[in-house]
């Protein structure tokens, strides 16, 4: 799982990583050149060598202008590259969610998925790119810098490097605690996201019931617990770390100056070397900051890769046995339970091509569960249910879902026009085909109508017809309907009844409507399924 996400992020961010390496190396090379010319100009002043000084100032101005123009340009290009490839990673990660096992989708709260996708994925790929970039950049810059440091003397260079390296003590000492606080912060962010989504989705009910204060109190308690247990300690740790780093930075500069003065006094180096080393010290500090980022970044990346692993865990298998072109479903002693609680027991039936099968029964009798099993969503059943002699658990789920069209009890519509919503059933369908299916379902008058997320301009019956039209446009031989007569008026129910009776498609539908039961070939009566006795199809 970790290898999978790291491999994906590397593939997404390889171009930004290369771009960042070029940026890091360019900044350091220009900084080294500026330091060298400042040093040579300092020595020229002491020696009253105005020719060398004038030559040095021209080159210094060139590199300073280059630093002012090139580095910001590289930074802007980097930002565009990160955004472009980051968007690609967001899109690809979103496509993994529909591939999860059904039970996993039901278990993970919406806010948890949203937070990890919107917040953590972005942070992870940025941190990952920065860490890989630093791991590659640090040795390149260090080798170049050491080669340039020969003129300063190896003793002076070694001392400057050691005092800069003292800064690494702090990240080494605090990395485990920092990762723990980071993990707690992300868990808090997920919880808050869940609460806010729940409030926004149920705002009207919360207001009508007068429980808004209770929700705000719950959010406030969540924040106080997080602040007292995590954030307060994290703030103190970061303040202490920043203070320690600032103190070490001052000490390192002081040591570099004092050692440099001593070496100048002994005639080992020139005054210009101190100027060069002071500038090199900034590059050393930057290298140590990058190394510090790697030290703290790797444990954080491991923690984040575990949290983002939900996008890879328990993916629904896309492999399996093809079910063939014929159609026949045979269930034998089919049973299902949730956490040990029996939903139905020993259900047996036989569905042939072009059959019209009603699934009926009281609430809680297992109608929806059976429907989900037939759709290929629920797979943890006992007994057997085969499609063309292929066990549903072993069937190629992509092949099966390409053979069926499904209309759920609650119609799901997207922002856009009614035509666009119906067209999602078959992306290759022409406008004429979409209009024809709208005509058949009696919603031709809705052609071109805009569906907006925050408005309720469509009736329940219209939404249901749109959902049915979308399923029909898919043009499969098998149609599964969950309470299709819900929200339909008498005229619409009459149309639905005629459609079910006259179509050559195989239709399996859940219903409480006795009129729809009458036009079915058979009815699977779920009311008798709780006892440990064989359940068979009942002829209507």
Phi (first) and psi of residue 525, to 5 degrees: -85, 110
Cα–Cα distances in Å, from 307 out to 19, 87, 97, 121? 28, 20, 15, 10
* pLDDT tens for each residue of 11-48: 888 988 998 999 999 999 999 999 988 988 988 888 88
3-state SS, residue 389: coil
> Is the pLDDT score of 137 beyond 60?
yes
pLDDT the model gives residue 140? 95
Burial 328-337 (b: 16+ CB within 10 A, else e): bbbbeebbbe
Q: Are 246 and 254 in contact (CB under 8 A)?
A: no
The backbone torsions φ and ψ at residue 368, rounded to the nearest 5 degrees and listed phi first, read: -65, -35
Q: Tell me what pLDDT residue 532 has.
A: 41
**What does the block give as tokens for 258?**
């004092």
Confidence of residue 3 (pLDDT cuts 50, 70, 90): low
Kindly tell me if the per-residue pLDDT of 64 is higher than 90. no
Strands 356-360 and 506-510: parallel
**What average pLDDT does the segment 423-450 reach?**
90
pLDDT of res. 168: 86
φ, ψ (nearest 5 deg) of residue 503:
-70, 150
> Among 17, 23, 13, which residue's Cα sits nearest to residue 86?
13
Q: If we measure between CA atoms, which residue out of 534, 500, 516 comes closest to residue 355?
A: 500
**Rounded mean pLDDT, 128-153:** 91
Burial class of residue 292 (count of CB atoms within 10 Å of its CB; 0-12, 13-18, 19+)? buried
Give Cα separations from 447 to 414, 417, 466 (angstroms): 15, 8, 11
Q: What is the CATH number of domain 328-539?
A: 3.40.50.300
Residue with tokens 């666009």: 420
The Cα 77–Cα 74 span in angstroms is 5
**How far, in Å, CA of 81 to CA of 87, rounded?**
10
> Average pLDDT for residues 219-236, to the nearest whole number?
91
* pLDDT confidence of residue 131: 94
Region of 338 please: left (phi>0), alpha (psi -120 to 50) or beta.
beta
Sheet of strand 404-407, all strands in order from the earlier edge strand to the far edge: 404-407, 478-482, 506-510, 356-360, 522-525, 538-539
pLDDT at 384: 95
- Confidence band, pLDDT 50/70/90 cuts, at residue 528: low
Q: Determine what percent of the chain is predicted with pLDDT higher than 90.
A: 28
Residues 6 or more apart in contact with residue 190 via CB below 8 angstroms: 109, 111, 112, 115, 116
To which residue do tokens 């954080």 refer?
Answer: 300
Q: Above 60 in pLDDT, residue 90?
A: yes
Average pLDDT of every residue of the chain = 86
Q: Encoding tokens for residue 250?
A: 């001052």
Query: By the 8 A CB rule, do 475 and 324 touch?
Result: no
Report the distance separating Cα 499 and Cα 340, nearest Å.
Answer: 40
What CA dihedral angle connects 17, 19, 25 and 29, to 10 degrees?
Answer: -170
Specify the 3-state DSSP secondary structure of 228: helix
What is the band of 535 on the pLDDT scale with cuts at 50, 70, 90? Answer: very low
The tens digit of pLDDT for each residue in 382-392 reads 999 999 999 99
Secondary structure of 91-138 in HEC code, one letter for each residue: HHHHCCHHHECHHHHHHCCHHHHHHHHHHHHHHHHHHHHHHHHHHHHH
User: Over the stretch 170-181, which tens digit does the pLDDT of each residue have?
Assistant: 888 888 898 899
In terms of Cα–Cα distance, which of 258, 89, 298, 341 is closest to 178?
A: 298
DSSP single-letter state for residue 380: -
Residue 273 CA to residue 51 CA, distance in Å, equals 19
Is 70 exceeded by the pLDDT of residue 540?
Answer: no
306 and 183 Cβ atoms separated by less than 8 Å:
no
State residue 25's pLDDT score. 93
> And the tokens for 516?
């729809």
> Which pLDDT score is estimated for 530?
46
The average pLDDT across 339-366 equals 89
**pLDDT at residue 454, rounded to an integer:** 54
Which single residue is written with the structure tokens 């390409």?
402
pLDDT above 80 (res 88): no
pLDDT score recorded for residue 175: 86
* pLDDT at site 456: 67
User: What pLDDT score was predicted for residue 172?
Assistant: 85
- Top-confidence range, 112-126, 246-260, 484-498: 246-260
**The two three-digit tokens of residue 157, written as one number:** 């260079």
Among residues 469, 529, 473, which one has the least CA distance to residue 496? 469
Q: What are 280-293's pLDDT values in tens digits?
A: 988 998 999 899 89
The pLDDT of residue 96 = 76
What is the rounded distance in angstroms from the CA atom of residue 18 to the CA atom of residue 15?
5
Per the document, the length of the chain is 540
Domain boundaries, the chain: 2-311, 328-539
How far apart, in whole angstroms, are the C-alpha atoms of residue 492 and residue 6?
53
Buried b / exposed e over 71-103, threshold 16 CB at 10 Å, is eeebeeebeebbeebbeebeeebeeeeeebbee
What is the helix (H) or strand (E) element at residue 349, kind and residue range?
strand 341-352
DSSP annotation string for 145-164:
HHHHGGGG-HHHHHHHHHHH
Mean pLDDT of 507-535: 76
Q: Tens of pLDDT along 148-166?
A: 888 888 888 888 888 888 8
Q: What are φ and ψ of residue 89, in 5° steps?
A: -70, -35
Asked if 17 and 133 touch (Cβ cutoff 8 Å), the reply is yes
CATH architecture of 2-311: Up-down Bundle (1.20)
Residue 478's pLDDT is what?
92
Tell me the pLDDT band of 537, cut-offs 50, 70 and 90.
Answer: very low
């Amino acid at each position: 799982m970790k290898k999978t996400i790291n491999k994906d992020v590397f593939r997404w961010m390889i171009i930004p990583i290369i771009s960042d390496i070029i940026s890091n190396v360019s900044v350091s090379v220009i900084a080294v050149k500026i330091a060298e010319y400042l040093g040579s100009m300092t020595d020229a002043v002491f020696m009253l060598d105005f020719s060398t000084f004038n030559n040095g100032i021209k080159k210094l101005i060139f590199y300073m202008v280059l630093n002012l123009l090139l580095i910001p340009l590289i930074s802007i290009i980097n930002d565009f590259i990160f955004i472009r490839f980051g968007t690609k990673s967001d899109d690809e990660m979103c496509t993994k969610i529909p591939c999860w096992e059904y039970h996993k989708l039901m278990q993970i709260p919406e806010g948890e998925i949203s937070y990890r996708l919107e917040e953590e994925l972005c942070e992870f790929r940025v941190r990952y790119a920065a860490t890989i970039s630093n791991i590659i950049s640090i040795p390149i810059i260090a080798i170049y810098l050491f080669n340039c440091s020969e003129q300063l003397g190896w003793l002076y260079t070694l001392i400057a490097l050691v005092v800069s390296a003292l800064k690494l003590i702090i990240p080494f000492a605090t990395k485990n605690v920092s990762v723990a606080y980071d993990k707690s912060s992300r868990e808090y962010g997920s919880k808050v996201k869940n609460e806010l989504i729940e409030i926004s989705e149920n705002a009207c009910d919360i207001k009508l019931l007068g429980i808004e204060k209770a929700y705000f109190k719950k959010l406030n308690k969540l924040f106080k617990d997080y602040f007292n247990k995590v954030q307060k300690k994290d703030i103190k740790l970061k303040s202490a770390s920043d203070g320690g780093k600032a103190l070490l930075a001052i000490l390192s500069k002081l040591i570099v100056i004092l050692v440099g003065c001593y070496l100048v006094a002994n005639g080992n180096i020139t005054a210009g070397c101190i100027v060069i080393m002071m500038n090199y010290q900034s590059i050393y500090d930057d290298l140590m900051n990058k190394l510090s980022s790697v030290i703290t970044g790797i444990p954080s990346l491991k923690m984040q890769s575990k949290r983002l692993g939900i996008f890879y865990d328990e993916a629904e298998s896309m492999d399996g046995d093809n079910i063939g072109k014929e159609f026949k479903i045979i269930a034998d002693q089919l049973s299902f339970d949730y956490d040990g609680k029996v939903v139905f027991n020993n259900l047996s039936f036989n569905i042939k091509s072009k059959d019209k099968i009603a699934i009926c029964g009281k609430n809680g009798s297992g109608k929806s569960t059976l429907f989900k099993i037939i759709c290929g969503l629920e797979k943890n059943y006992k007994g057997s249910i085969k499609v063309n002699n292929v066990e549903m658990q072993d069937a190629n789920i992509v092949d099966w879902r390409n053979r069926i069209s499904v209309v759920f009890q609650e119609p799901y519509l997207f922002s856009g026009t009614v035509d666009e919503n119906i067209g999602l059933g078959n992306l290759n369908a022409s406008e004429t085909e979409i209009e024809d299916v709208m005509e058949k379902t009696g919603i031709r008058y809705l052609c071109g109508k805009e569906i907006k997320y925050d408005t309720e301009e469509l009736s329940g019956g219209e939404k249901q017809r749109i959902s049915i039209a979308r399923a029909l446009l898919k043009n499969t031989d098998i149609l599964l309907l969950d309470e299709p007569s819900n929200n339909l008026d008498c005229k619409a129910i009459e149309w639905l009844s005629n459609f079910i009776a006259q179509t050559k498609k195989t239709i399996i539908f859940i219903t409480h409507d006795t009129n729809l039961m009458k036009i079915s070939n058979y009815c699977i009566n779920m009311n008798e399924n709780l006892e440990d006795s064989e359940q068979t199809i009942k002829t209507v």
